[in-house]
Chains A and B, each alone.
Chain A
Amino acid sequence: MISQFFILSSKGDPLIYKDFRGDSGGRDVAELFYRKLTGLPGDESPVVMHHDGRHFIHIRHSSLYLVVTTSENVSPFSLLELLSRLATLLGDYCGSLGEGTISRNVALVYELLDEVLDYGYVQTTSTEMLRNFIQTEAVVSKPFSLFDLSSVGLFGAETQQSKVAPSSAASRPVLSSRSDQSQKNEVFLDVVERLSVLIASNGSLLKVDVQGEIRLKSFLPSGSEMRIGLTEEFCVGKSELRGYGPGIRVDEVSFHSSVNLDEFESHRILRLQPPQGELTVMRYQLSDDLPSPLPFRLFPSVQWDRGSGRLQVYLKLRCDLPSKSQALNVRLHLPLPRGVVSLSQELSSPEQKAELAEGALRWDLPRVQGGSQLSGLFQMDVPGPPGPPSHGLSTSAPPLGLGPASLSFELPRHTCSGLQVRFLRLAFRPCGNANPHKWVRHLSHSDAYVIRI
Chain B
Amino acid sequence: MTDSKYFTTTKKGEIFELKAELNSDKKEKKKEAVKKVIASMTVGKDVSALFPDVVNCMQTDNLELKKLVYLYLMNYAKSQPDMAIMAVNTFVKDCEDPNPLIRALAVRTMGCIRVDKITEYLCEPLRKCLKDEDPYVRKTAAVCVAKLHDINAQLVEDQGFLDTLKDLISDSNPMVVANAVAALSEIAESHPSSNLLDLNPQSINKLLTALNECTEWGQIFILDCLANYTPKDDREAQSICERVTPRLSHANSAVVLSAVKVLMKFMEMLSKDLDYYGTLLKKLAPPLVTLLSAEPELQYVALRNINLIVQKRPEILKHEMKVFFVKYNDPIYVKLEKLDIMIRLASQANIAQVLAELKEYATEVDVDFVRKAVRAIGRCAIKVEQSAERCVSTLLDLIQTKVNYVVQEAIVVIKDIFRKYPNKYESVIATLCENLDSLDEPEARAAMIWIVGEYAERIDNADELLESFLEGFHDESTQVQLQLLTGIVKLFLKKPTETQELVQQVLSLATQDSDNPDLRDRGYIYWRLLSTDPVAAKEVVLAEKPLISEETDLIEPTLLDELICYIGTLASVYHKPPMSGPPLTTSSVQMGAVDLLGGGLDSLIGGTNFVAPPTAAVPASLGAPIGSGLSDLFDLTSGVGTLSGSYVAPKAVWLPAMKAKGLEISGTFTRQVGSISMDLQLTNKALQVMTDFAIQFNRNSFGLAPAAPLQVHAPLSPNQTVEISLPLSTVGSVMKMEPLNNLQVAVKNNIDVFYFSTLYPLHILFVEDGKMDRQMFLATWKDIPNENEAQFQIRDCPLNAEAVSSKLQSSNIFTVAKRNVEGQDMLYQSLKLTNGIWVLAELRIQPGNPSCTVRAPAPTLRPWSLPFVPCQGVVLVEDAVQASLQAWLEPESVRSLKRTFLESFHIHPVRLPR
Contacts and interface: CB of A to CB of B under 8 A. Distances in A.
**Bound pair (A, B):** yes
Interface string B95-132: 00000010000001001101000000000000000000
B254 A77 contact: yes
Nearest to B44: A27
A1 B71 CA distance: 20
Nearest to A22: B114
Interface-central residue, A46, A81, A84, A280, by most chain B CB under 10 Å: A81
B753 interface: no
B568 A59 contact: no
A106 B38 contact: yes
B562 to A, nearest CB: 12
A104 B3 CA distance: 4
B140 A84 contact: no
A254 B251 contact: yes
Contacts of A50: 574
Interface string B70-110: 01000000100000000000000000000001000000100
Interface in A37-74: 42-48, 50, 55, 58-59, 70, 73-74
A125 interface: yes
A74 B67 contact: no
B215 A406 contact: no
Nearest to A60: B297
A105 interface: yes
A297 to B, nearest CB: 18
Given A400-B401, A450-B327, A122 B68 contact: no
Contacts of B295: 59, 80, 84
B365 A111 contact: no
Contacts of A196: 327
B293 A211 contact: yes
A404 B300 contact: no
Contacts of A107: 3, 35, 38-39, 68, 71
Contacts of A372: none
A12 interface: no
B278 interface: no
A42 B216 CA distance: 35
Nearest to B335: A43
B327 A448 contact: yes
A50 B578 CA distance: 12
A335 B365 CA distance: 8
Interface in B524-569: 566, 568-569
B570 A283 contact: no
B239 interface: no
Interface in B310-365: 322, 325, 327-333, 336, 356, 360, 363-365
Contacts of A10: none
Contacts of B139: 123
Interface in B561-599: 566, 568-574, 578
Interface-central residue, A14, A106, A252, by most chain B CB under 10 Å: A106
A106 B328 contact: no
Nearest to A446: B329
A81 B38 contact: no
Contacts of B363: 400-403
Nearest to A70: B570
B333 A406 contact: no
Given A16-B42, A75-B220, A404-B360, A111 B67 contact: yes
A121 interface: yes
Given A22-B78, A106-B3, A133-B101, A123 B328 contact: no
A28 to B, nearest CB: 10
A50 B298 CA distance: 17
A29 interface: no
Contacts of A211: 293
A121 B368 contact: no
Nearest to B302: A77
A390 interface: no
Given A47-B333, A118-B140, A73 B566 contact: yes
Contact of A43 (B4, B325, B368, B572): B368
B112 A448 contact: no
Interface string B130-152: 00000000011001101100100
A141 interface: yes
A114 interface: yes
Nearest to A111: B67
A37 B782 CA distance: 69
A370 B213 CA distance: 49
A147 interface: no
A58 B114 CA distance: 27
A448 B329 contact: yes
B301 A139 contact: no
A135 interface: yes
B722 interface: no
Interface string A11-32: 0001111001110000100000
Contacts of A111: 67, 71
A404 B114 CA distance: 58
B476 interface: no
Contact of B568 (A43, A46, A77, A135): A77
A44 B301 contact: no
B258 to A, nearest CB: 6
A236 B301 CA distance: 28
B365 A401 contact: yes
Contacts of A100: 4
Contacts of B146: 119
Interface in A103-130: 103-107, 110-111, 114, 118-119, 121-126
A139 B332 contact: no
B254 A119 contact: no
Contacts of A84: 295
Contact of B571 (A22, A43, A73): A73
The 10 closest A-B CB pairs, nearest first, are A78-B254, A45-B333, A77-B254, A135-B64, A448-B327, A122-B217, A73-B578, A211-B293, A47-B297, A104-B3
14 contacts: A1-B186, A45-B333, A48-B570, A59-B295, A77-B257, A77-B301, A78-B258, A114-B108, A122-B220, A141-B2, A209-B293, A400-B403, A401-B363, A452-B360
Interface of A: 1, 14-17, 20-22, 27, 42-48, 50, 55, 58-59, 70, 73-82, 84, 100, 103-107, 110-111, 114, 118-119, 121-126, 132-133, 135-136, 139, 141, 194, 196, 198, 200, 206-207, 209, 211, 251-252, 254-257, 280, 283, 285, 287, 335, 359, 400-404, 406, 447-448, 450, 452
Given A114-B71, A257-B251, 7 more contacts: A73-B571, A111-B71, A126-B215, A207-B325, A400-B403, A401-B364, A448-B327
Interface of B: 1-4, 6-7, 35, 38-39, 42-44, 63-64, 67-68, 71, 78, 101, 108, 111-112, 114, 139-140, 143-144, 146-147, 150, 175, 179, 182, 186, 215-217, 220-221, 224, 249-254, 256-258, 286, 290, 293, 295-298, 300-302, 322, 325, 327-333, 336, 356, 360, 363-365, 368, 401, 403, 406, 566, 568-574, 578
